[in-house]
């Protein structure tokens, strides 16, 4: 089938389909447009409700995640403070041991002189 014949057949089919649709339409055009308008308005309302609900859900999730992040920061600070305290204690113990060793070495050196 050539391109010209194809488009001719397509045009005849579209015209015939449109004519049949008009003949067998169950209601007037005004009524059909009114139904379509109501359907579109309903879809818009449904979409608006869905988007509002999605926004509320996302806001709640953001608040929950912010609280969890704050809790994690508090826990990390507490652990860091504990680790710093332990490190300070160990440094103090090490300084005391070094002081004892140096003191002992000084006494030994004095006894040799």
| Res. 32: pLDDT tops 80 | no
| Res. 36: pLDDT tops 80 | no
Give the whole-angstrom CA distance, residue 21 versus residue 29.
Answer: 12
How would residue 12 be classed by pLDDT, with cut points 50, 70 and 90?
Answer: very high
Domains of the chain by residue range: 3-112
What are the φ/ψ torsions at residue 32 (nearest 5 degrees)?
-65, -45
Tell me if the pTM is above 0.85.
Answer: no
**Amino acid 52: pLDDT:** 94
Contact 65, 72 (CB under 8 A): no
The pLDDT tens digits for 69-105 are 999 999 999 999 999 999 999 998 888 988 888 888 8
Return all residues near 9 (Cβ < 8 A) that are at least 6 apart: 1
The pLDDT tens digits for 40-70 are 888 998 999 999 999 999 999 999 999 999 9
**Amino acid 50: pLDDT:** 92
**Amino acid 4: pLDDT:** 82
């Amino acid at each position: 089938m050539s391109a010209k014949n194809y488009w001719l057949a397509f045009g005849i089919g579209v015209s015939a389909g449109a004519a049949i649709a008009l003949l067998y339409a169950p209601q007037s055009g005004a009524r059909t447009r009114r139904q379509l308008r109501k359907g579109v308005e309903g879809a818009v309302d449904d979409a608006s409700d869905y988007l509002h609900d999605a926004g509320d859900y996302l806001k709640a999730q953001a608040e929950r995640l912010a609280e969890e992040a704050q809790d994690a920061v508090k826990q990390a600070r507490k652990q860091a403070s504990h680790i710093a305290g332990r490190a300070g204690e160990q440094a103090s113990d090490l300084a005391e041991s070094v002081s004892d060793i140096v003191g002992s070495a000084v006494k030994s050196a004095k006894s040799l002189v």
